Structure 1
Amino acid sequence: MSDTISLPTADDVLRGVDLTGCTAVVTGASSGVGVAIAAALAGAGAEVTLAVRDMAAGRDVSERIAASRGVAPPAVEQVDLLSMASVRAFAERWRSRPLDLLINNAGLMGPPLTMTEDGFESQMAVNYFAPFLLSELLLPSLAAAREGSGIGRVVIVSSGSHQLATLDTHDLNYERRAYDKFEAYGHAKLCANLLAVEYSRRHADVGVTMNAVTPGGVETKLGRHVTFEDAVKLGWVNEDGSLPQGRMKTADEGAATPVWAAVAPELEGQGGLYLEDCAIAPIWAPPMPSGWGVSSSSLEPDAARLLWQVAEGLLRKSGLK
């Protein structure tokens, strides 16, 4: 990818698309790709809710979207994805409203081992357990939108880093095995991919689908726990500081695939996919570079079903589902 290559943005994806009357919730919409997703959807006419942990930052984003897009300020709602009680409270506040689009965009990458109040490893909490719970609790709203000729889609933001991990349903929260912060990030994103597979299978009868997407390499606050040495070790940057693929995407370019997943007519009725660069990603195989495409283990139905059962049990054990 050279600096001269022009990549599609979320606005390019939405050109000619009218989302008037559609409702959308975007988590993690106080910075980075989440802001770009929310702004593009609002600019196309959608009624967007910014689901954020930092309300002050969310209100600032809302005002900026309103000024730049010439629309009413998007609603701002608090949700802390490190707390399943907060997720439940948000869903309860939404309960009586239809929902066309749920964009599970918020992420956490590479912190030291930290356990949440619910007993979940923090990366698993933000990248997997919270989207699992939120998507399940909002299913009636998504199904209601479908019944009313709405969209009824769920998007979960993943990463090519899912290739760093192998599924371990016996110890999802690193209570017994060694913790490597980037393997744990990859494991959480692998679980996110499998969530899309099983969620779509379970809810096919109401027409609600979930697809996993990678925005690609985007420089955002997501990387605040990543050192330069980490990035070199993972192959994200060269030792001289240059980028293997030429340049990082902008936030607007990173938002293109999540928005495409939300609105593309060709994805109607299709769930459990892994999307990359506004297309269904190929299965990774040599000589493809690591981090591109999708691992076949990310799409395995039996693994997706087992993971769902284990995760659902952990949520129930905590009295949260």
Structure 2
Amino acid sequence: MTILTPPAPTALDVVAGHDLTGRTAVVTGGASGIGLETVRALALAGARVVIGARDPRAAGAAGAAAADLRKSTGNQAVTVAALDLGSLRSVREFADALLEQRDPVHLLIANAGVMGLPPGRTADGFETHLGVNHLGHFALTVRLLPALRSAGHARVVVVGSSSHHLGGLDLDDPHFEHRPYDPYLAYAQSKTANALFAVALTGRHRADGVLANTVSPGAALTGLQRHLSAETKLAVGLVGPDGTPNPRLRTAAQGAATPVWAAVAPELAGTGGAYLEDCALAEPWDGQGPPRGYLPEALDPERAARLWDVSAALVGVG
């Protein structure tokens, strides 16, 4: 994972000077952590933002987060709707509700995710990490393609992770039916899928004005790691021996900087299928020193095309 000593730019630093009035952004998992700070920045720039959250009730955490964002940003066009990425039915209902409004979607931030879970399956029988982190976002994006196309120039930002360095994607056994389950390998596999998805989406829909890039937000201690044991958090450098957060970790606002940069940076016009980190185009890792950038196989067009076909067959779209 990429640990950066503060100070580092925040999402608000990145979005300063940008006017997103008249644009619609959809942010999955936008009620907490890096997603919340992404929504905050986009809302302050004037975008209409729809947060996809598992529990959108006004009395719940997501509803409270949306209300706080409307108050703190002065942007009343911040809403929250039910979205469970572990349920294809929920994905369809969320997407169809947006499509019924007949508004273009200019930005889709695929931010929500799970990490370090015990063996489990989604409502549709997919391994949980792959099902939520990749297949749910795949189904959502494909369902929203009419709204993305109608934007003219739409950006899909897929929040990946440097953890893709830990292991690749086994398309012959994506749900760990024939190999021992490992929660961190499952997470790494889903993050490899995120990167390959951005490559495939761009390849298939560049002519429609839809471009996708993968971003690594860097290491930030958020709710994503809530399932990790204390020993694991210590081993990977998230906390110190006394259990306190590593002071070199990014804040959620710093972690949101690269996702927001991917959404608004004018220099990324026409760029798709790339891997971004530290508000810049990343380089392929040369195998020397701590892993940085991306593994070349995570952006391989042939593997991306095969992943698209497998994903489409699994979710019944595309």
TM tier, shorter chain? over 0.9
Q: Which residue of 2 aligns with 1:295?
A: 295
Equivalent position to 1:179, from 178, 181, 206? 181
Deviation at 1:286, TM superposition (A): 3.2
Task: Kindly report which structure 2 residues correspond to 1:1-321, keeping only aligned pairs within 5 A, or say none.
Answer: 5-55=6-56, 56-72=60-76, 74-95=78-99, 96-146=102-152, 151-234=153-236, 236=238, 247-290=248-291, 292-316=292-316
- Aligned residue for 2:280, secondary structure, equals coil
Kindly tell me: are residues 293 and 241 of structure 1, through their superposed partners in 2, closer, same or farther at Cα, counting changes over 3 Å?
farther
| Alignment TM-score, normalising by the size of structure 2 | 0.93
**Which residue type is aligned with residue 222 of structure 2?**
T
Deviation at 1:309, TM superposition (A): 1.0
Deviation at 1:258, TM superposition (A): 0.3
Kindly tell me: are residues 235 and 247 of structure 1, through their superposed partners in 2, closer, same or farther at Cα, counting changes over 3 Å?
closer
Separation of aligned partners in 1, 2:4 and 2:182: 32
**Which residue type is aligned with residue 69 of structure 2?**
I
Separation of aligned partners in 2, 1:2 and 1:187: 24
Deviation at 1:233, TM superposition (A): 3.8
List structure 1 segments (4+ residues) > 2 angstroms apart after TM superposition.
Answer: 231-244
- Aligned residue for 1:203, secondary structure, equals helix
1:205-254 CA-partner distances (Å, limit 9, x unpaired): 1110111111111111100111121134445556576878x511111111
Separation of aligned partners in 1, 2:97 and 2:142: 15
Equivalent pair of 2:4/2:250 in contact (CA under 8 Å): no
Separation of aligned partners in 2, 1:73 and 1:211: 26
C-alpha root-mean-square deviation of aligned residues, in Å? Answer: 1.7
| Alignment TM-score, normalising by the size of structure 1 | 0.92
Separation of aligned partners in 1, 2:305 and 2:37: 33
Equivalent pair of 1:18/1:45 in contact (CA under 8 Å): yes
Kindly tell me: are residues 308 and 63 of structure 1, through their superposed partners in 2, closer, same or farther at Cα, counting changes over 3 Å?
same
Separation of aligned partners in 1, 2:296 and 2:242: 33
**Which residue type is aligned with residue 296 of structure 1?**
P
Separation of aligned partners in 1, 2:77 and 2:182: 41
Deviation at 1:167, TM superposition (A): 1.9
Kindly tell me: are residues 88 and 2 of structure 1, through their superposed partners in 2, closer, same or farther at Cα, counting changes over 3 Å?
closer
| Worse overlay, 56-65 or 19-28 | 56-65
Equivalent pair of 1:109/1:222 in contact (CA under 8 Å): yes
Structure 2: segments with no counterpart, 5+ residues: none
Equivalent pair of 2:88/2:136 in contact (CA under 8 Å): yes
- Aligned residue for 1:179, secondary structure, equals coil
